[in-house]
Structure 1
Amino acid sequence: MSNFNQAKYIQQFQKEKYDRCIFNVPKGKKSTIEKHWKSKGYKSLNAYVNDLIDRDMQGTPGIQVNHNKGIVAGNIHGDVSIK
């Protein structure tokens, strides 16, 4: 019989290949964010966040993040505020 443990294998692979970034949002905001990334066609929150970060770091025109009490992401069509 095999001693292969798939769950441990996956955990070890992820530990070696990925860094974890955990963030918190106010209660109730998670469902709003989930509806938004799904409406944009992303398959996961992780894919959405990684794409936003990559485009922001590359200086993609239309991606602008302003800081205030909520998250405000600007684009060429105006500001989108998630509070």
Structure 2
Amino acid sequence: MAAPLPPTLHCDVVFCCLGTTIKVAGSGEAFREVDQHLPIRIARAALEKGAQHFIIVSAMGADATSRIFYNRVKGEMRPNFGQLAIPI
């Protein structure tokens, strides 16, 4: 896990363009960690630091019901942002 953000850090807008491939990540779960879980954790940290907007690069075809693993992981990410009080 990454180090915590400095306590004096403040942000208004955060851009997130994290991504990997299953080959580079080494497994489907490692891919999911980078492409789905890390952006959510970053958004939560940004919200704690005052962010008013969170812009995330996802993927064409992102769909939580897709039979394609990559598209499904990306599609499963979006509803998690609805639980946060931060516009995306």
**Both structures adopt the same fold (TM-score exceeding 0.5):** no
Task: Give TM-score, length-normalised by structure 2.
Answer: 0.23
| TM-score (norm. length: structure 1) | 0.24
Greater strand share, structure number = 1
Find the structure with the greater CA-based Rg.
1
